[in-house]
Amino acid sequence: MTRVIAAALAAWMIPLVGVAQETDTEKTAAHDVLRKMADLEHSLDVPGLVSRLTAANPQRDAVVARTKELLDTELLAMADDIATHPEIGFEEKRSVGKISTYLKQHGFDVEMGVANLPTAFVAKYHGNSGAPNLGVIVEYDALRGTDGPFHGDQHSAQGPVGLAAAVAISEFLTKTHTPGSVTVFGTPGEEMMPPEAKAEMHTAHAFDGMDVIVRSHSSAQTSRPAPGFGTCCMNIDGVKYTFSGAPAHQLTSWNGRNALEAVIHLFNNIDAVRSSIRPEARIQGIITEGGAAPNVTPDRAQADFYIRYPDEVYLAQVTDFVDNAARAAALATGTKVKIDHYGHDRDGISEATLAELSFAYMKKYGGTNVTPAPGKPQGFEETGTVSRDIPGIGVSSQSSNAPNHTYEMNEDNLKEVGHHGFTVDAQTMASILFDFATDAPYRAAVRKEFDGIKGLFAEYRTALEKTYTVPVVRDPK
Amino acid sequence: MTRVIAAALAAWMIPLVGVAQETDTEKTAAHDVLRKMADLEHSLDVPGLVSRLTAANPQRDAVVARTKELLDTELLAMADDIATHPEIGFEEKRSVGKISTYLKQHGFDVEMGVANLPTAFVAKYHGNSGAPNLGVIVEYDALRGTDGPFHGDQHSAQGPVGLAAAVAISEFLTKTHTPGSVTVFGTPGEEMMPPEAKAEMHTAHAFDGMDVIVRSHSSAQTSRPAPGFGTCCMNIDGVKYTFSGAPAHQLTSWNGRNALEAVIHLFNNIDAVRSSIRPEARIQGIITEGGAAPNVTPDRAQADFYIRYPDEVYLAQVTDFVDNAARAAALATGTKVKIDHYGHDRDGISEATLAELSFAYMKKYGGTNVTPAPGKPQGFEETGTVSRDIPGIGVSSQSSNAPNHTYEMNEDNLKEVGHHGFTVDAQTMASILFDFATDAPYRAAVRKEFDGIKGLFAEYRTALEKTYTVPVVRDPK
Amino acid sequence: MTRVIAAALAAWMIPLVGVAQETDTEKTAAHDVLRKMADLEHSLDVPGLVSRLTAANPQRDAVVARTKELLDTELLAMADDIATHPEIGFEEKRSVGKISTYLKQHGFDVEMGVANLPTAFVAKYHGNSGAPNLGVIVEYDALRGTDGPFHGDQHSAQGPVGLAAAVAISEFLTKTHTPGSVTVFGTPGEEMMPPEAKAEMHTAHAFDGMDVIVRSHSSAQTSRPAPGFGTCCMNIDGVKYTFSGAPAHQLTSWNGRNALEAVIHLFNNIDAVRSSIRPEARIQGIITEGGAAPNVTPDRAQADFYIRYPDEVYLAQVTDFVDNAARAAALATGTKVKIDHYGHDRDGISEATLAELSFAYMKKYGGTNVTPAPGKPQGFEETGTVSRDIPGIGVSSQSSNAPNHTYEMNEDNLKEVGHHGFTVDAQTMASILFDFATDAPYRAAVRKEFDGIKGLFAEYRTALEKTYTVPVVRDPK
Amino acid sequence: MTRVIAAALAAWMIPLVGVAQETDTEKTAAHDVLRKMADLEHSLDVPGLVSRLTAANPQRDAVVARTKELLDTELLAMADDIATHPEIGFEEKRSVGKISTYLKQHGFDVEMGVANLPTAFVAKYHGNSGAPNLGVIVEYDALRGTDGPFHGDQHSAQGPVGLAAAVAISEFLTKTHTPGSVTVFGTPGEEMMPPEAKAEMHTAHAFDGMDVIVRSHSSAQTSRPAPGFGTCCMNIDGVKYTFSGAPAHQLTSWNGRNALEAVIHLFNNIDAVRSSIRPEARIQGIITEGGAAPNVTPDRAQADFYIRYPDEVYLAQVTDFVDNAARAAALATGTKVKIDHYGHDRDGISEATLAELSFAYMKKYGGTNVTPAPGKPQGFEETGTVSRDIPGIGVSSQSSNAPNHTYEMNEDNLKEVGHHGFTVDAQTMASILFDFATDAPYRAAVRKEFDGIKGLFAEYRTALEKTYTVPVVRDPK
């Protein structure tokens, strides 16, 4: 037996902060890119920028005060109301009604049904006057619980929080004749797919022209991401496989073709290649249709899969394996398969110019349970689709004492920890939008960072393409 | 390569009529039993018996006339009414309400909720006076269609037809002081299991004490079974397999145990032994629960199987294979399984003394589309449970121009072909009950035949037990 | 639940003798063909023909005596010698050496290595003079036993028996100036494939021009087949599936592609469709190469299958299923597959004109343990390839007290039961060849029957093609 | 979708050198243990120790010179001879003959056939006088290549190298009346299992009483392991699964039980739980027996697996999964299985007191291609069994320009790079044994370090036991 010298040691010894690269292969591929990114960040002097922007500024303070006033008088009550009337994704009619009515009452023109999604909207302030274009994303769908819908991820507050910041900054721009436009995006069904609402809306050009987008999200910590590209939970492909066969009575099953056997062999085929796929992949499925009656050969069956890998380049190979597993299952069973790639979550882009400013404001406005080190890079929305094209930040101060997706976080919606966190988020969002609208050098720095990271991201993907070669299989003799 | 002389030829050359033995193995095992059965039938002189009973008889004609009168005045209308208000199994509240109300109005005491089945009943005529005990089974559940329930198997008419015969014979017994008792059995949900209503009721002793049972069933022919033991569609075990695992997030699936993988391997394990099981077996399943969301390791999953074999002796071995497939799936996946044997359809017993008399009366009363040769032996109800203990006959004259379980047969419920067939069935049932109540030698012949066949059936099963040995597997070296 | 009237009864009641149709579907498809075949046989008056030919004939008796003399003086000793020096298929060098030397010594020109098979030969008598062309097939390969080769199927005697008949009839033709030619075919490896020796030789035109072929085969009975088309043991496709992948160390198996997983999924895919294939099919395989070491991802693996069905038309569908199972396994595992259809056993044709004559002569010369009824139709060789083009008969009198392929049958090679049976076979073969060479009406009858059955066989296959439609699978929605 | 803060960051930021813990879970479990180990190493002042021992020492230099002389005059020639006469594991009769003859010629008593292994031996110097007990392990088996055996891992030189050091130190001890004993262990078949020669010999108490063991191994670098416990290539269980079924002809396969299907389902069952097992596991198998002929149901089949995990605690759970996969396969197919755990490679223990001294001597004697940082901890032999009980060092200077297990490394056996490396190894081994025999404080330090690491290893395993809980599966409802 031979000895292997631990060749991977070098990579381990670099003290990294919040890196996106999860595997040794990725770390090796990212080596040059990460060095260039360090250079980029160094050139921006983000600490100096943040220090300058967060200094005393009465105009900003007025906007922040107006934000708080809107929450205290009406919007925290709206958050409580939505929290106690939870609606699941794509059925948030009551919730979106509250939000859109408020926007209309405060000078916004609301277009409902964007991208053919009935509860999606785009709301533009009627006083909008040119660039910079400031965007605010709000969500409102509840989680599906075994006892019915509940707001265990606090999307109930995202609308009111976003509205407070959007209305306050809109009023400021109009009042001060500062050039700039404010758009609020209502994005439904974040917790469900298909469809992926933000990806659909982006494809329908709903976000086109935005210069920056802010959003709030519940959390048990006050934190921010490191700059770069990444995602919390791997790149994901959501795919449905629908098989059709031919029905037959059980007694003469050879007159049929069994679609359930095809689904079963889809799973078997995937299991067969698990050790031919890098171990960081996560492939898991459920059977959503498994036949109607045991005495009739199932002529239709369906499975739903989430396919995950740390990066999107190798993910494509993994998804090919799963698609081929389905095609092979159809071929072997004499059935037909329809493959529906319904969802694509990808690495997003985060910028230190926005993240560190957000972090400073959150601390300034009283954000609690502060995490000192930046987390893994990730975009301001979960699909990665929008944040690759538009700079932005997901503001995230502590709004609960419990982890996300819990009944306890739902209860914190109505408590002081929730209301305080929502207020900090709204104030922070208003401040960032204020700085972006009023400070041209800051806008330039954000743009420079975003463009730089976007370029490096492309470079990284090219490096990965070279890394992940497919093994050569010779013809059998 | 060696040559094989076709040893199975002998069995083929015996000209058999409506035999139950479907495989060469069964035919060989049944060799002696079938010879003894031929002797038994010869000793009974059924043609002579039928000829004597169907001769002119004014008393019987009066009962038959009364039967027709009841149908014409009220019961065919009830059949139409139930046909147009279809209710699926175990939900036949309206239908059973109509039937039980009628029975009460005609002197029957009705006990609802027999065997813990809310829509099952036993109705005894208040004038009952000792043996012989005459039973009438009636059903009333509709089929499940994609457009809702419908009476494509004409169970809608079984209640009215049975009531006409039961009331007419009850009135006759009372009026003429003929000893005898009449009981009507309301058996729900024939088209569904679990539960198997008749088996449950029999276990709860509902049918105890009956000397004969008659029942009507829709058909596109006027026909009768051969005497013996058998079933239309193989002996069946219905089994549900429920697996439990442990849930986990997809990203850390090793913290869970996947119940869906267990169900999938239940199917795989069955497929693996298909060629180790005699080819006449039919094993087919569906997946009734296949996981909730692709990003959560399924901690619960379920499959539902019908397992069939021509005889119940080898069926037990087949079901053992399937149960072991489930246990093996649990063992391999670290999950647990619950096995629920919810249904058991078995060979029933049919008697020529009843079947040939039924056939003669059906022809006498105008039964159409007559099938000359007797069909395969089978009991008067589908589970085989009751007909093994109590002699009886399922009366079956043409009541439709379409096959069973069709929308066309449903339409015939309201047409002349339906009404005529229902009337023939009711008249035939009333005549058989009349003969059974009034003719002691006939009762003795039925009993002799039933006891004889029952004994031969036990002998056959013993022969099969000897035939189906399990292969010896030695310890691996 | 609906009732099924036993529709298959009609077919059962026809008293059939040695029919080839094993399934109800086949019997239905063969209905017209079998009637026409009965007419054909009736028109030939085979009993009259046999009675005329087997009457007293001094010339024939002399040929038969000469046959026996050759056996007694030399050829039974050669049979004993080959029996005690067994050689497996395609390695029968010593055995074929003995046989070819004898043939050369008795006036035959021997061509070895026919069809690229080193131990195959064609030997033509130097006195040959035109038609009719009489062929004799001889085999000489031993069985593979766990203790080495052995002649448990008595191919050891086929050479000597065939030589005795061939030499005796050749001498007769020459001496009497009777027109006709004699050819002996040495066909190796009957017990092994690939390759299929007789099919390869036939493809290479080795048998072209023969008018009749005779052959002897060991048996525990004296019997003959019915006329028609058929085979002892179903139509067979022999197929090898060889998969290639890419090797990798176990620790980084994702750098490889696993050919063994492909073979495993070939089996799984077949198991998955067993209930989508008619139950008379028999599909069984072994794994002939399953990887080299557990710490190296197997980059090559192989399986060998026998696929059987009673008729060749549906067999093609079954083999398609298996081939697709292999293609699907390759697709799912990222490997490649080579499919080698190496063997094809098919229904052969047997003629009553030859079989009944053979049966009469065997009884005349003292054949023991006589089976009165004719067996299933089958050709005179196991592949069915040659017997579809050339009429012939496999002569088969009792030459052992034990079943084929046993050590007991091997022992009988050297005993009286063996020697007696071999002598009866040789005498019968010589008599048939004598009649064929000297009796033009007989030759015409054989030809008429052969052509008739061949035409009906084609008709039958056409009927089956119409019967076995493939289920329609719609596109999934 | 919720956000995950990269909790694993802390562990990444500790700059580690040659750690054995490969997973985050292991790193967390090892946290305290690694701190204590750092304290232990600090307390030993290994650099000071090494510096003192490697200082000028004429006695040691004489031993080293004698070592070189033995190589130059005879033993390098023996290495060349064994290299050119390669013999695979357990068949190394010629090679072990050369070695044992030499030992006998130089005053050793050789006991062959130790632990029932014909080519294993224990050789004790006849001048041995008490403690310390110095052991030398030598190997001599060649690799299996597609073109026959070859010495691509240079075991050919291990005997001669070990003999040079052993004879030189033995002569020194005797000559100088230094207390101490020398034992040479001949351990066959390192490249094969089963059996695991060193584990078998250890179980048979062959190594009992040794105070230190040295061994040489080929390498393309001059390197040494870090102190601690570990292994190059994960902990390994080697397991064979043999299934027995019942044979049957393919045409009646239900009379058999298919052992090949059982093996196939062993693989399937493993594949089914791959995502229920931590992703660092490596489970790979081959099929060593896959049936004899496609027309006979396989009644015997066998698979051979290597099961690997970075630590032995979770490995036990993984092996349970695989064993249950086999039991489940037998249960489902009606076959029986024999499970043979034939091999167990485990973490070994390495000591800096030996490793750093070895590294210093190798450099002193001209070791080339030096790797500065220590590698992963690992024992001096591949099973981990011996090195857990007895301190020791595998000496490894550059002896080839090619990686292990290559034809190029085989060629280097006869070249300067080989001969030079072998000489450096032998000189280093002689020096270590000299220091160990003559320097009591050094012996004490080695012992202290070994005992300390052994205790910490037990502590680590206990911590892992607490970490790896098995998920709770509730009873299905």
What distance in Å separates residue D455's CA from the closest CA in chain A? 25
- D458 at interface of B, judged by CB pairs closer than 8 A: no
Helix (H) or strand (E) holding D357: helix D352-364
Contacts of residue D445, defined as CB under 8 A and 6 or more positions apart, other chains included, come to D44, D46, D49, D353
Q: Could B334 and D300 be called an inter-chain contact, meaning their C-beta atoms sit closer than 8 Å?
A: no
Which token pair is B88? 């699926």
Instruction: Work out the minimum CA distance from C3 to partner chain B, whole angstroms.
Output: 6
pLDDT tens per residue across span B266-309: 999 999 999 999 999 999 999 999 998 898 899 999 999 999 99
* Both tokens assigned to D171: 């002569």
Q: Do A284 and D268 count as a contact with CB atoms less than 8 A apart? A: no
User: Which among D302, D292, D290, D298 has a CA at the least distance from the CA of D326?
Assistant: D302
CB pairs under 8 A between A and C: 153
Q: Once rounded to an integer, what is the mean pLDDT over residues D74-87? A: 98
Q: C274 and B274 in contact by Cβ < 8 A?
A: yes
Prior bond to A149 cis, omega within 30? no
**Partner-chain contact A233 B253, CB within 8 Å:** no
Residue B4 in this model has a pLDDT that exceeds 80: no
For B2, the closest of C18, C274, C405 (CB atoms) is C405
Q: How far apart are CA D400 and CA D419, in angstroms?
A: 9
Q: What is the 3-state secondary structure (H, E, C) of chain B?
A: CCCCCCCCHHHHHCCCCCCCCCCHHHHHHCHHHHHHHHHHHHHHCHHHHHHHHCCCCHHHHHHHHHHHHHHHHHHHHHHHHHHCCCCECCCCHHHHHHHHHHHHHCCEEEEECHHHCCCCEEEEECCCECCCEEEEEECCCEEEECCEEECCCCHHHHHHHHHHHHHHHHHHHHHHCCCEEEEEEECCCCCCCCCCHHHHHHHCCCCCCCCEEEEECCCCCECCECCEEECCCCEEEEEEEEEECECCEHHHHHHCECHHHHHHHHHHHHHHCHHHCCCCCEEEEEEEECCCCCCECCCEEEEEEEEEECCHHHHHHHHHHHHHHHHHHHHHHCCEEEEEEEEEECCEEECHHHHHHHHHHHHHCCCCCECCCCECCCCCCCCCCCCCCCCEEEECCCCCCCCCCCHHHHHHCCCHHHHHHHHHHHHHHHHHHHHHHHCHHHHHHHHHHHHHHHHHHHHHHHHHHHHCCCCCCCCCC
Give the chain B residue nearest C265 (alpha carbons). Answer: B268
Which pLDDT belongs to residue A144?
86
Instruction: Give the one of C243, C333, C476 whose C-beta lies nearest to A273's C-beta.
Output: C333
Dihedral (Cα; C17, C22, C23, C25), 10-degree rounding:
-70
Residue B335: which of D258, D327, D473 has the nearest Cβ?
Answer: D473
Whether B142 has a pLDDT exceeding 70, the answer reads: yes
- Contact of A284 with chain D, judged by CB distance below 8 Å, is answered with yes
Rounded distance, CA D280 to CA C42, Å?
77
- The reported pLDDT for the residue numbered C2 is 34
Q: Is the pLDDT of residue A10 over 60?
A: no
How much is the average pLDDT of B240-244?
97
Q: Dihedral through CA D202, CA D204, CA D206, CA D208, nearest 10?
A: 70
Average pLDDT, chain A: 93
Model confidence band, residue B19 (pLDDT cutoffs 50, 70, 90): low
pLDDT for C194 equals 87
Strands C121-125 and C108-112: antiparallel
Amino acid at B241: Y
Q: How many C-beta atoms surround the C-beta of residue C406 within 10 A?
A: 17
Please tell me which of the candidates B4, B13, B275 has its beta carbon nearest to residue C233: B4
Q: Do C268 and A268 touch (CB under 8 A)?
A: yes
Instruction: Please report, rounded to a whole number, the percentage of residues in chain D having pLDDT higher than 70.
Output: 96
Q: Which residues of A touch D18 (CB under 8 A)?
A: 6, 9
Residue C470 DSSP one-character state: P
Tens digit of each residue's pLDDT (9 = 90 or more) over B158-190: 999 999 999 999 999 999 999 999 999 999 999
Interface contact D333, partner B, CB < 8 A = yes
- Confirm or reject contact between D296 and chain B (CB < 8 A): no
Yes or no, beta carbons of C261 and D238 under 8 Å apart? no
Q: Please answer whether residues A454 and A388 qualify as being in contact, where contact means their C-beta atoms are separated by less than 8 angstroms.
A: yes
Is D272 at the interface with chain B, CB within 8 A? yes
C334 near A CB under 8 A: yes
Reported as a pLDDT band with limits 50, 70 and 90, residue B16 is very low
pLDDT value for C442: 98
CB contact under 8 A, B5 and C404: no
Q: Compare CB distances from D286 to C251, C268, C290 and report the shortest one's residue.
A: C290
Q: Are B332 and D272 within 8 A, CB to CB?
A: yes
Could you tell me if C163 and C184 are in contact, meaning their C-beta atoms sit under 8 angstroms apart?
yes
Please give the pLDDT value at position C8: 27
Query: Is some CB atom of chain B closer than 8 A to the CB atom of A261?
Result: yes
Distance to chain C for B191, nearest Cα, Å: 6
Say what the pLDDT of residue D147 is: 80
pLDDT per position as a tens digit, B23-80: 888 989 999 999 999 999 999 999 999 999 999 999 999 999 999 999 999 999 999 9
Determine the distance in angstroms separating the CA of B337 from the nearest CA of chain D, rounded to an integer.
6
- Are residues D264 and C264, on separate chains, in Cβ contact within 8 Å? yes
| Residues A209-226, mean pLDDT to the nearest whole number | 96
Nearest to C120 by CA among C111, C128, C109: C111
Write the DSSP symbol of residue A300. Answer: E
Q: Is the pLDDT of residue A349 over 90?
A: yes
User: Measured between CB atoms, which of A233, A290, A301 is closest to B288?
Assistant: A290
Counts for chain A of helices (H) and strands (E), in that order: 15, 14
pLDDT of the residue at A232: 87
C89 vs B117: CA distance, rounded Å: 70
- pLDDT at site B14: 30
| pLDDT tens digits along D363-375 | 999 999 999 999 9
Cβ-count burial of B332 within 10 angstroms (0-12 exposed, 13-18 middle, 19+ buried)? buried
Quote the strand ranges of D130-281, DSSP E. Answer: 133-138, 181-186, 212-216, 228-230, 235-244
Other C-beta atoms lying within 10 Å of the C-beta of residue D48: 9
Partners of residue A325 in chain B, C-beta under 8 Å = none
Q: How many angstroms separate the CA of residue D292 from the nearest CA in chain C? A: 7
Which of the four pLDDT bands, split at 50, 70 and 90, describes residue A13? very low
Scanning every residue of chain A, which has its alpha carbon at the shortest distance from the alpha carbon of C254?
Answer: A276
The 3-state DSSP class for residue C229 equals strand
On the 0-12 / 13-18 / 19+ scale of CB atoms within 10 A, B80 is middle
Q: Is the peptide bond before A194 cis (omega within 30 degrees of 0)?
A: yes
Whether ipTM tops 0.95, in short, is: no
Inter-chain contact C477–A256, Cβ cutoff 8 Å? no
State yes or no: pLDDT of A15 exceeds 80: no
User: Do residues A54 and A360 make contact, with C-beta atoms less than 8 angstroms apart?
Assistant: yes
Strands (E), A217-366: 228-230, 235-244, 282-289, 300-309, 336-345, 348-350
Smallest CA–CA distance, residue B444 to chain C, in Å, is 29
Percent of chain A scoring above 70 in pLDDT: 96
Q: Answer whether A105 touches B (CB < 8 Å).
A: no
Q: Is the CB of A279 less than 8 angstroms away from the CB of D279?
A: yes
pLDDT of B198 above 90: yes
Token pair in block for residue A282: 């996560």
D194 pLDDT higher than 70: yes
State residue C19's pLDDT score. 67
Question: How far apart are alpha carbons D272 and D321 in whole angstroms?
Answer: 10
pLDDT beyond 50 at D7 = no
pLDDT digits (tens, 9 = 90+) for B358-382: 999 999 999 999 999 999 999 999 9
- What pTM did the predictor assign? 0.91
Q: Is the pLDDT of residue D225 over 70?
A: yes
Q: What does the pLDDT look like over D117-151, one tens digit per residue?
A: 999 999 999 999 999 999 999 999 999 887 889 99
Task: Give contacts of C301 with chain D, Cβ < 8 Å.
Answer: 287
Residue type, B219: S
Q: Which residues of chain C have pLDDT under 50?
A: 1-17
Q: Which residues of A touch D373 (CB under 8 A)?
A: 9
Q: B219 in contact with C at a CB cutoff of 8 Å?
A: yes
